[in-house]
Homo-oligomer: A and B are copies of this chain.
């Protein structure tokens, strides 16, 4: 049996999303069909042209509403202009903001260096970063790219490039995750946790 065409179309559209397989796609479609609230229509409205309503912040390349040049963070006078935290994706900004433990600014690279995938420095928002350092206001740059091969390579590259500036360059700590278990930690994480050991307060 082929599903009625409008339903099949919806299943197909869900199935194309990352992390949603054929079974979840049909389940979602049938769920929305039965749903008595207006969930499906609300999702449709939220999706309709949402990309045209968004743009990148002209300073840090975080996401912002199209009518504003600066994002929430960059337009916030209370944020510390002396620290810039460099991340790969705008989603990482969201994760860091959720911790409520960082009061500096951000810079979103929109990717990481990857020779295999042909991503070089000019494919990332690296040049605009240098421009932000011109006025000499920035005192520290935190490299918060992912603790992956690409993220580490990007951090290494940036730390070399930034050596010419009189700026403290740091890398976010890598080690055992909180709530983690030595027994289940992989070798690399354990090695990193050992070499990165710190004095007890």
On whether the beta carbons of A16 and B39 are closer than 8 Å, the reply is yes
Q: How far apart are the CA atoms of A28 and B64 in the complex, in Å? A: 17
| Chain A, interface residues (CB within 8 Å), range | 35 or more
Copy count, this protein chain: 2
Q: Mark A92-115, 1 if CB is under 8 A from B, else 0.
A: 011001000000000000000000
Min CB–CB distance A62 → chain B (angstroms): 9
**Cβ contacts under 8 Å, A16 to chain B:** 39, 42-43
Tell me, yes or no, whether A130 is within 8 Å of chain B by CB: no
Tell me which residues from 1 to 36 in chain A have a Cβ below 8 Å from any Cβ of chain B: 1-7, 9-10, 12-14, 16-19, 24, 26-28, 30-33
Q: How far apart are the CA atoms of A73 and B89 in the complex, in Å? A: 48
Tell me, yes or no, whether A51 is within 8 Å of chain B by CB: yes
Of the candidates B10, B14, B30, which one forms a contact with A90 in the assembled complex, judged by CB atoms under 8 Å apart? B30
Q: Mark A40-61, 1 if CB is under 8 A from B, else 0.
A: 1111111111110110000000
Of the candidates B4, B6, B10, B54, which one forms a contact with A6 in the assembled complex, judged by CB atoms under 8 Å apart? B54
On whether the beta carbons of B63 and A94 are closer than 8 Å, the reply is no
Q: Is the interface of A mostly helix, strand, loop or mixed?
A: helix
On whether the beta carbons of A94 and B1 are closer than 8 Å, the reply is yes
Residue in chain B with minimal CB distance to A8:
B46
On whether the beta carbons of A13 and B39 are closer than 8 Å, the reply is yes
Residue in chain B with minimal CB distance to A57:
B4
Tell me, yes or no, whether A65 is within 8 Å of chain B by CB: yes
**Cβ contacts under 8 Å, A3 to chain B:** 63, 94
Which 3 pairs between the two chains have the least Cβ-Cβ distance? A44-B47, A1-B97, A6-B53
